[in-house]
């Protein structure tokens, strides 16, 4: 029972991450709504409401087993998130349909015209229909938000409770890597090559939505034998959402040497000296902070390394990738076959898939949805 509850919570959390990616301020979805300002405001309102509910999700998940009202609240939240997902899918489908129709029309007229996503013209009737559904979904979410106090749910983001997300490490199981072999090979080539402009330091951003495999890609190359032999020093640090220069510096220094200080200035001086003249590889995993001044201060610690030194940055945010480096590696979704192989690997672990052929049809559907 408890594992079922945990999986339910994980589905909400994963669905929210996908929605936040789609509702990003500079995302393609909002661009499609540019001519309909009221709908853009509704999308932003949807995002802010979901953020407010996400803040208590962890507390609700921990209380649902002992409180039937919280369990019912979570079920309603899950249904509302499903409705929001379906709305986004409806918009994507309509945009794709119009794009395909436009391409066919252009082919009939001339082979030189192109159909761009920015030229898609979604009808007023379509927007009116979407607006009504958006308003209903937001109203449902607002009702759930009003129940938070009565249910005694706590804001986990604003509390002093320690971050529950387990920081990533560089350890990797090669058998868990699916469908990323080309990206791995391309990234290894970039790490082993010298910068064309003769710079000592190059930053390689890896960008993509949550859970798509950015960290796994970084782990795979970090542990590659050629990469190990190429770099004199290697260090891995999981930055995550709470940006803290002291914590980052101390963590990287602990990777390189055992002795550390509790003074930020001494830590940064020691880290810069430890990297001076050495060819190093540093991984900064899960970076969210796009404050240029803070990045520039941190980058200063790495500029004295030897020619060919590299920093890998994984992030969900395009703004971080653009700020920290050039030529970002965009990690897309997996193909249907690879998704099915990954899903099968974990859902049927310790069991022979051939013994459960009845699971394949529904399993493939779940994998496609994921």
| pLDDT attached to residue 165 | 59
0.75 exceeded by the pTM? no
Q: What is the CA radius of gyration of the chain?
A: 24
DSSP letter at 262 equals S
- pLDDT tens sequence across 161-198: 444 457 888 888 877 788 888 899 999 999 998 865 66
- pLDDT tens sequence across 134-153: 899 999 999 999 998 888 88
| pLDDT attached to residue 5 | 43
Using a 10 angstrom Cβ sphere, with 0-12 exposed, 13-18 middle and 19 or more buried, the burial of residue 64 is buried
Residues 21 and 316: beta-carbon distance below 8 Å: yes
Report the percentage of the chain scoring pLDDT > 70.
82
- pLDDT tens sequence across 78-101: 999 999 888 888 888 887 887 777
> What kind and span of H or E run contains 238?
strand 233-240
**Distances from the Cα of 186 to the Cα of 180, 183, 190, 193, angstroms:** 10, 5, 6, 11
| pLDDT attached to residue 206 | 95
Low-confidence ranges of the chain (pLDDT < 50): 1-8, 107-108, 110-119, 158-164
| pLDDT attached to residue 219 | 95
């Amino acid at each position: 029972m408890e594992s079922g509850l945990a999986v339910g919570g994980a589905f909400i959390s994963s669905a929210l991450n996908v929605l936040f990616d789609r509702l990003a301020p500079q995302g393609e979805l909002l661009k499609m709504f540019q001519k309909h300002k009221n709908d853009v405001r509704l999308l932003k309102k949807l995002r802010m409401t979901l953020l407010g509910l996400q803040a208590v999700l962890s507390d609700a998940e921990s209380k649902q087993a002992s409180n039937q009202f919280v369990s019912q609240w979570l079920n309603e939240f899950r249904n509302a998130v499903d409705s929001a997902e379906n709305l986004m899918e409806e918009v994507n489908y309509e945009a794709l349909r119009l794009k395909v129709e436009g391409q066919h029309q252009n082919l009939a007229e001339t082979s030189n015209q192109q159909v761009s996503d920015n030229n898609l013209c979604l009808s007023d009737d379509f927007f009116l229909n979407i607006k009504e559904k958006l308003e209903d979904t937001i109203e449902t979410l607002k009702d759930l938000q009003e129940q938070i106090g009565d249910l005694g749910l706590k804001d986990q983001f604003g509390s002093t409770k320690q971050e529950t997300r387990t920081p990533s490490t560089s350890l990797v199981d090669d058998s868990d890597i699916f469908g990323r072999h080309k990206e791995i090979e391309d990234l290894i080539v970039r790490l082993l090559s010298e910068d064309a402009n003769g710079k000592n330091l190059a930053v390689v951003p890896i960008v993509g939505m949550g859970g798509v495999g950015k960290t796994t890609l970084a782990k795979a190359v970090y542990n590659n034998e050629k990469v190990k032999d190429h770099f004199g020093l290697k260090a891995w640090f999981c930055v995550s959402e709470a940006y803290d220069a002291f914590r980052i510096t101390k963590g990287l220094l602990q990777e390189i040497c055992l002795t550390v200080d509790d003074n930020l200035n001494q830590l940064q001086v020691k880290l810069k000296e430890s990297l001076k003249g050495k060819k190093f590889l540093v991984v900064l995993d899960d970076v969210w902070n796009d404050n240029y001044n803070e990045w520039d201060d941190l980058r200063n610690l790495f500029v004295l390394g030897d020619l060919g030194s590299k920093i890998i940055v994984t992030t969900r945010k395009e703004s971080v990738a653009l700020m920290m480096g050039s030529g970002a590696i965009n990690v897309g979704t997996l193909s249907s076959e690879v998704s099915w192989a990954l899903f099968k690997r974990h859902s049927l672990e310790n069991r022979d898939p051939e013994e459960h052929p009845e699971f394949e049809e529904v399993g493939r559907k779940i994998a496609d949805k994921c």
